Amino acid sequence: MEKGELTKLVIKAYTKPDYTGGVADEFTVSLNPEEYSQVYDIEYDDKSGDGTTGSPMVFKRIKPQEYTLKFMIDGTGASGKKINVPETIERFFEVTGYDGKIHRPRYLEILWGTLRSHCILLKADIAYKLFKPDGTPLRAVINATFKENIDDRTRVAKANDSSPDLTHVRVVKEGDTLPAMAHEIYGDFTRYIDVARVNGLNDFRRLAPGQRIFFPPLEKTDNG
C-alpha cells in the first residue's frame, strides 16, 4: 500500500469457526467509521465468604470483548460515488448475517488499521437520514455491535502469557528452583512433582543453568 493511501474497513466472512477454508464473502465500507468503541469487560465473583464482610472480589474470567462500529452509507453522490443505500444494507447483512448452509450467522473478521478481531455480529441498528421524494433512503447510519469469537480459555491465555492453560518452556537460570518455577506458572508450588515427572527428573533439586524445563498445560498435569 502506498504511503497515505486510504484504507477502508473490511469485514470478512467465514463459514468455519477456526477461520479455515478461505473467505466466503466480504463487505467493504464506502465511508470509514468516524469512531468505534471497544468494551473490555472483566467478570468477578463478588460473593463474600461465609461470616465475613468486605471480602475482595474474586476474578472469574475476561469476557469476550465487544466492538461497536458506526459508519455511514451515503447515496447522495457527495462522496464522489453514487450508492444504492437499500442494496448496500442488504449486502451488509448478506455478508455478516445468517448463512443457511451452516445454519447460523457467519464467523467474521474485522480489519481496519490496528483493529483486528475475530467476531460475530450481535446486532445492527440502522438510522435512515435522508430520502428521495418517493421515500427511498439516500443516507443511512449503521451502528453494528460485534462480539469477540473466542473461547474463555484462549482469551485468558492471550491476556496472560503465564497462563497455566498454555504450554511453557523455561530455561533454568542460576538460583532457580523447580517449586518456585512451578509456582510462577501454575500458582501452586506443589505442581513441581508433576513437572519433574513429565521432564524425567530424578532429582528436582539439581537444576543446571541453561537446562530447558517443559511445563505442560494445567489440565495435562491433572490428567497425568
Give DSSP secondary structure letters for the chain.
--TTPPPPPEEEEESSTT--S---EEEE-SS--SEEEEE--EEEE-PPPTT-SSPPPEEEEEPPPEEEEEEEEE-SSTTSS---HHHHHHHHHHHHSEETTTTEEPEEEEEETTEEEEEEEEEEEEEEEEE-TTS-EEEEEEEEEEEE---HHHHHHHH-TT-TTS-EEEE--TT--HHHHHHHHHS-GGGHHHHHHHTT-S-TT-PPTT-EEEE--HHHHHH-
Q: Which residues of the chain does CATH 2.40.30.200 include?
A: 10-156
- Give 153's pLDDT tier (boundaries 50, 70, 90): very low
pLDDT digits (tens, 9 = 90+) for 53-101: 555 666 666 778 899 999 999 999 887 788 999 999 999 999 999 999 9
Q: Is the pLDDT of residue 143 over 90?
A: yes
Q: Which residues pair with 137 in a beta bridge?
A: 131
pLDDT: which is higher, 17 or 164? 17
Contacts for 196-203 with beta carbons within 8 Å, 24 or more apart? none
What are 51's three cell numbers? 461470616
Domain spanning 163-223: CATH 3.10.350.10? yes
pLDDT: which is higher, 120 or 46? 120
Q: What is the pTM of this model?
A: 0.64
CA 140 to chain centre: 28
Q: Which of 188, 171, 184 is nearest to 222 (CA)?
A: 188
- Give 175's pLDDT tier (boundaries 50, 70, 90): confident
Residue type, 84: N
What architecture is the 10-156 domain classified under in CATH?
Beta Barrel (2.40)
Residues in CB range of 200: below 8 A, 6 or more apart:
none
Q: Which residues of the chain does CATH 3.10.350.10 include?
A: 163-223
Q: Average the pLDDT over each of 12-21, 40-49, 79-88, 182-191 and give the range with the smallest value.
A: 40-49
Q: Is the pLDDT of residue 165 over 70?
A: no
Half-sphere exposure of 101 (CA within 13 A, CB side): 7
Q: Average the pLDDT over each of 47-56, 85-94, 103-112, 152-161 and give the range with the smallest value.
A: 152-161
pLDDT at 152: 45
CA distances from 35 to 24, 150, 151, 201 (A): 27, 24, 27, 55
Q: Is the pLDDT of residue 113 over 90?
A: no
In whole numbers, what is the pLDDT of the chain averaged over residues? 83
Q: Is the pLDDT of residue 157 over 50?
A: no
